[in-house]
């Protein structure tokens, strides 16, 4: 006689069996093929940075250049002013034998201008009238006083000083000529006065008449 089956136990056992079969089937199935990881996207090519545009060349400040030129001339004047008479004479002779720099580039032009200014200062300090030093100094300064640039103002200032110094010297020379002419006239008048005095003395003191010679006795 078959044993009676409890329906509840049967359902439980069937559920357990089904679960076991499902687990076994899942274990027996081959593992699902894993999808390969997508390749990383290529890095974008570096975009070359644009070349920096050249900085615009800064224009030198005209006021700063003029100030530097004036300071250079003042330094040269101070150096020459402190020289003794003998040292100044040696500097004068050396400058007379040394030609001014010549060239077309800016650096050489600046050096030549500075040398011309210093030589003009030297001529102004020595100032030998017989050598025409002031005229030579004016000739050195006039081109720079007329040319626009950083040296123009200081060249005009020095040229004005040279012209004033020449005017004063011309005035002194003219006054000296007038004094010499007056002295010549004074000497001439003094000579004429002495001649008149001599005539007056001769009139006031006539010479005594010489006695006539005695007659010779007759033989």
What burial class does residue 120 get, using C-beta atoms within 10 Å of its C-beta: 0-12 exposed, 13-18 middle, 19+ buried? buried
Tokens of 101: 């720099």
CB 72 within 8 A of CB 114: yes
Q: Which residues contact 169 (CB under 8 A, 6 or more apart)?
A: 129, 134
Report the predicted TM-score, pTM, of the whole model to 2 decimal places.
Answer: 0.56
- pLDDT single digits (tens) 173-199: 888 889 999 999 999 989 888 888 888
Per-residue pLDDT of the chain (219 residues; tens, 9 = 90+): 444 445 454 455 445 444 544 444 444 444 554 555 555 556 566 666 666 555 555 666 778 888 888 888 889 889 988 988 888 888 888 887 888 777 667 777 888 888 888 899 998 888 887 778 888 999 999 998 998 888 888 999 999 999 998 898 888 888 888 999 999 999 998 988 888 888 888 887 766 656 656 666 665
- pLDDT single digits (tens) 197-215: 888 888 877 666 566 566 6
């Amino acid at each position: 006689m078959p044993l009676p089956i409890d329906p509840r136990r049967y359902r439980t056992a069937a559920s357990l069996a089904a679960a076991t079969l499902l687990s076994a089937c899942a274990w027996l199935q081959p593992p699902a093929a894993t999808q390969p990881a997508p390749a990383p996207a290529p890095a974008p090519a570096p975009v070359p940075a644009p070349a920096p545009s050249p900085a615009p060349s800064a224009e030198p400040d005209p006021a700063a250049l003029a100030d530097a030129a004036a300071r250079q001339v003042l330094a040269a004047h101070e150096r020459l002013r402190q020289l003794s008479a003998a040292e100044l004479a040696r500097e004068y002779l050396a400058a007379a034998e040394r030609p001014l720099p010549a060239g077309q580039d800016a650096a050489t032009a600046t050096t030549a201008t500075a040398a011309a200014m210093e030589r003009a200062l030297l001529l102004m300090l020595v100032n030998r009238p017989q050598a025409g030093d002031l005229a030579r100094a004016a000739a050195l300064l006039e081109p720079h006083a007329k040319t626009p640039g950083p040296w123009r103002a200081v060249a005009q200032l020095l040229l004005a000083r040279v012209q004033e110094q020449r005017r004063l010297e011309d005035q002194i020379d003219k006054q000296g000529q007038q004094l010499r002419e007056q002295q010549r006239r004074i000497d001439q008048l003094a000579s004429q006065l002495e001649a008149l005095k001599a005539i007056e003395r001769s009139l006031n003191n006539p010479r005594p008449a010489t006695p006539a010679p005695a007659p010779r006795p007759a033989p």
